[in-house]
């Protein structure tokens, strides 16, 4: 299976051209150039493996290489947010936020000798009572290393200071006292500022930052910039903020990283598609910017043509492991085997079952799982996943087909029919607009019959900080297994 995402999006519009380069759920993207290659990562939240690693030669065509962590570090349990990929003195460092077991959100760093890893975690650096997130390292003009981050005080309805503090070269301890750079003080910033990333140009340091509501259908996110001649301040916010806001194609743009390519400057950040919104999630966008004669930043306006080209993805379960595009819940350890062109997914006796999924890349798609009934002794299904408490499923149970909805942990049957399968059974979900779902079945993979005749509203599925996944599920007693020999996702 090709691991290369090749997509084009050029925007015919009078507003800024925002190019889609990381389709699907890639919140808070970060990028750095190492040698002649760009490396990127993004928030994984409660999906595993943790923090995707992608590489590109041109900032637009990205290849999935792997992940930073296959399992949570010992100190953390969930909410893995905002990895910041950096390169310094021959080593790669990834700063990130995670929820400390028995505590709150903390900042940590992992390091590796190569960008593809393996990565060694160094444990939490900063753990404020209300939470600490969105780390970014920066050196001052004398070469002293600092860490910039956000105190997550909006979680308790308080202002959100952006802090800076010196850090040792080993990235294992903070030095001296922290100092505030700025906080949310302006009406457009609403209840927070966050996601700070910096670049130095001429006499100034520039801080790109996001403000207001990041996530969900009511998001109000936008991007601002501040500048200072000294890293420790004083910092001046641009009077023309926000410099990046929504347009007809993309909503709530923000939380990114500046990067240089061939002497030109670009910003990799996220935004919601105006069409598929929260259902495909915060997707990775790229836009060029420049420094103005008066010492500020502006994004470059450029027209283009609208096109989103998404190739079908087929997994035939070969090679001994799941392809890198598959994800699972951080609270469920995956239990599976891949052999002889089959996925054997062990069951869980819970309402959600054990599931594995892939990012959805548009609002309109079909996902089809080919089940081997003769080898299956669990309820085997195709599933649309919000999280472990919210799913939609079509199960084959051995003698029936059942469409079920798990909502806030409560399971209910929407439609069912008696059915005794033969040697193979194709189960399909068809999505429209990202949130309307119909489940179908076929014995030959060509003609499909519906199980539910009225589309199901799945608007309840996505958690506040994540998008949908679609995949396969195995539900039943311990030791039982669902067997699949193909999974196809076709986006329109």
Instruction: Give the angle subtended at the CA of 258 by the CAs of 127 and 25, to the nearest 5°.
Output: 70
Whether 47 contacts 466, CB under 8 Å: yes
Give 365's Cβ-side CA count (13 Å radius).
28
Which residues are the active-site residues? 28, 194
Count Cβ atoms below 10 Å from residue 259 Cβ, excluding itself.
20
In Å, how far are 50, 161, 403, 425 from 5, measured between CA atoms? Answer: 19, 37, 32, 29
Which residues have C-beta within 8 Å of that of residue 421, sequence separation ≥ 6?
Answer: 371, 373, 396, 443
Residue pointed to by tokens 């700070």: 196
In Å, how far are 112, 359, 456 from 367, measured between CA atoms? Answer: 36, 11, 16
Whether 22 contacts 29, CB under 8 Å: yes
In Å, how far are 147, 156, 281 from 173, measured between CA atoms? Answer: 11, 27, 35
Whether 19 contacts 60, CB under 8 Å: yes
Distance CA 348, CA 330 (A): 15
In Å, how far are 193, 197, 295, 415 from 208, measured between CA atoms? Answer: 10, 5, 14, 50
For 148, the token pair is: 């910039």
Distance CA 79, CA 28 (A): 13
**Would you give the distance in Å from CA 396 to the centre of its chain?**
30
Whether 209 contacts 199, CB under 8 Å: no
Distance CA 381, CA 352 (A): 11
Distance CA 85, CA 117 (A): 12
């Amino acid at each position: 299976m090709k691991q290369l995402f090749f997509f084009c999006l050029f925007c015919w519009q009078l507003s800024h051209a925002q190019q889609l380069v990381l389709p699907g759920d890639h919140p808070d993207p970060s990028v750095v150039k190492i040698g002649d290659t760009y490396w990127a990562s993004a928030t994984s939240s409660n999906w595993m493996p943790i923090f995707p690693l992608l590489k590109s030669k041109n900032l637009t065509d990205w290849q999935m290489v792997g992940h930073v962590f296959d399992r949570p570090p010992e100190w953390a349990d969930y909410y893995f947010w905002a990895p910041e990929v950096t390169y310094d003195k021959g080593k790669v460092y990834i700063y990130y936020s995670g929820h400390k077991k028995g505590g709150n959100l903390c900042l940590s760093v992992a390091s590796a000798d190569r960008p593809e890893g393996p990565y060694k975690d160094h444990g939490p650096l900063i753990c404020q009572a209300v939470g600490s997130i969105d780390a970014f390292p920066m050196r001052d003009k004398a070469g002293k290393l600092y860490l910039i981050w956000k105190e997550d005080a909006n979680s308790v309805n308080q202002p959100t200071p952006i802090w800076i503090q010196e850090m040792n070269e080993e990235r294992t301890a903070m030095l001296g006292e922290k100092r505030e750079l700025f906080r949310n003080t302006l009406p457009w910033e609403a209840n927070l500022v966050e996601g700070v990333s910096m670049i130095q140009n001429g006499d100034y340091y520039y801080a790109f930052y996001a403000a207001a509501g990041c996530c969900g259908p009511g998001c109000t996110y936008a991007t601002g910039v501040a500048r200072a001649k000294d890293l420790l301040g004083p910092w001046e916010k641009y009077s023309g903020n926000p410099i990046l806001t929504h347009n007809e194609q993309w909503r709530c743009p923000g939380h990114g990283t500046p990067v240089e390519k061939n002497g030109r400057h670009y910003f990799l950040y996220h935004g919601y598609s105006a069409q598929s919104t929260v259902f495909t999630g915060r997707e990775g966008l790229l836009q060029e910017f420049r420094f103005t004669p008066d010492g500020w930043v502006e994004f470059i306006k450029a027209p283009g043509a609208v096109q989103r080209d998404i190739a079908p993805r087929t997994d035939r379960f070969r090679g001994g492991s799941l392809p890198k595009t598959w994800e699972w819940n951080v609270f469920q350890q995956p239990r599976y085997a891949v052999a002889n062109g089959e996925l054997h997914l062990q069951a869980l006796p819970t309402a959600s079952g054990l599931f594995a999924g892939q990012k959805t890349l548009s609002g309109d798609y079909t996902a089809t799982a080919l089940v081997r009934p003769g080898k299956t002794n669990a309820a085997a299904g195709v599933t649309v996943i919000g999280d472990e408490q919210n799913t939609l499923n079509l199960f084959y149970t051995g003698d029936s087909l059942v469409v079920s909805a798990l909502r806030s942990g409560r399971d209910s049957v929407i439609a069912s029919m008696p059915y005794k399968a033969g040697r193979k059974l194709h189960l399909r979900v068809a999505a429209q607009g990202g949130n309307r779902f119909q489940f179908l079945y076929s014995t030959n993979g060509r003609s499909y019959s519906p199980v539910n005749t009225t589309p199901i509203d799945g608007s309840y599925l996505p958690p506040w900080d994540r998008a949908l996944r679609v995949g396969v599920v195995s539900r039943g007693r311990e030791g039982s297994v669902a067997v699949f020999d193909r999974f196809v996702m076709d986006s329109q």
